Amino acid sequence: MSRRDLRICPLLRTVQLLAVLGALVSCKVTETPEVHPDRVGCEVRASGPGGPIPDPNGPYYHQVVVAHTTDGVALTGAYQALDHASVPDGAIGPSGHPLIYYVNGADGPVWIAEVLHDSAQVLGPLVLDGVSRPAGVVDPDATRLPDGRIRLAYLSGFGPPGSGAGRAICLAESSDGAHFTVVARALALDSFSLMTDPTLAQLADGSWLMGISLGGWTVLARSSDGLTFSVYDTLTVGGVPELARLTDGRVRLYVCRGGIESYLSADRGATWVREATVVAAGTGGKRVICDPSLVQGAGMFVYKTAN
């Protein structure tokens, strides 16, 4: 071997080594894609094996009740539609039948059921960004958009406060009511935040209103595009809210305080006036009555109970 060959061999080995290192770096970047700053807290993670939630006050011991209504205040024909189910919310699905999104207390993640002839048929778990039964996703709120898609607002990163997991109120959309794609982080939360249970309503001028529960209070936020929200007020009238726009342009706010009460606003959510008791405390002998949802266009009202 010539002296020239001896000089070239180390050079070739160096080039080969750099190529291998470059490939390893490239693989690392591919495996851990960068999260857009506006989506932090809305990352989708797979959950572990499903199973009952052991909390004695948790969703395994809750029921979902469905009632009929013509005005959103007076309810008739209430019946238990789901057992071991909590924090329900409904919207008319692509098939024209109401869909209920709820936390499955026997499995953990969010599931979906379809209401047919006063009975609920379980369809299966929520799929988010291709992940079935995503972890840390709770408190679903469903809104049917004018084009028929379903927009889902939810709390992402659910877990013990201060656990370090990113939290946010996130938005996802679906054309079939079951397979959703994350579209925005509506409101950033820190890991110590106690805010839960988001709800959305689009106002007559095209802007959006959001309510979020802060224990027994309701935090209100606004958005011009329906994707990014800013907090503007906190109400002490009750928590676990539900917002609904009425045909005359007013907005109704349902809250939990003992039972379920309703309030009305004629100025885009700036001020509120108490309207009625929708479900009285102790109805049906239930200790807990909460998590209201008006399924607009379906003449249906959904809520949670516990013994």
Q: Over the stretch 180-203, which tens digit does the pLDDT of each residue have?
A: 999 999 999 987 889 999 999 999
- What are the beta bridge partners of residue 143? 151
pLDDT score for 38: 74
Check whether 50 has a pLDDT greater than 60.
yes
pLDDT score for 25: 37
Check whether 84 has a pLDDT greater than 80.
yes
- The Cα–Cα gap between 85 and 64 comes to 6
Kindly indicate the confidence band of residue 64, based on its pLDDT and cuts at 50, 70 and 90. Answer: very high
pLDDT score for 115: 97
pLDDT score for 28: 37
Give the closest residue to 237 by CA, choosing from 218, 258, 265, 214.
218
What mean pLDDT comes out for the span 77-89? 98
Check whether 5 has a pLDDT greater than 80.
no
Check whether 161 has a pLDDT greater than 70.
no
Kindly indicate the confidence band of residue 165, based on its pLDDT and cuts at 50, 70 and 90. Answer: low
Kindly indicate the confidence band of residue 163, based on its pLDDT and cuts at 50, 70 and 90. Answer: low
**What share of the chain in percent tops pLDDT 90?**
78
86 token code pair: 């909590």
Q: Measuring CA to CA, how many Å separate 110 from each of 30, 59, 102, 253?
A: 29, 11, 5, 24
169 token code pair: 């109120």
10 Å CB burial of residue 173 (0-12, 13-18, 19+) is middle
Check whether 255 has a pLDDT greater than 50.
yes
The fold of 41-306 is: Neuraminidase (2.120.10)
| More confidently predicted of 29 and 124 | 124
Kindly indicate the confidence band of residue 158, based on its pLDDT and cuts at 50, 70 and 90. Answer: confident
Handedness of CA 71, 176, 223, 241 (dihedral sign): positive
Kindly indicate the confidence band of residue 36, based on its pLDDT and cuts at 50, 70 and 90. Answer: low
Domain ranges (residues) in the chain: 1-33, 41-306
- Mean pLDDT of all residues in the chain? 89
Lowest-confidence segment of 20-24, 54-58, 88-92, 224-228 by average pLDDT: 20-24
Check whether 110 has a pLDDT greater than 60.
yes
What mean pLDDT comes out for the span 99-104? 98
Check whether 26 has a pLDDT greater than 80.
no
What mean pLDDT comes out for the span 139-151? 97
Check whether 282 has a pLDDT greater than 60.
yes
Alpha helices in the chain (DSSP H): 3-31
What mean pLDDT comes out for the span 153-165? 75
pLDDT score for 40: 83
Contact 301/294 with Cβ under 8 angstroms? yes
Check whether 23 has a pLDDT greater than 60.
no
pLDDT score for 190: 86
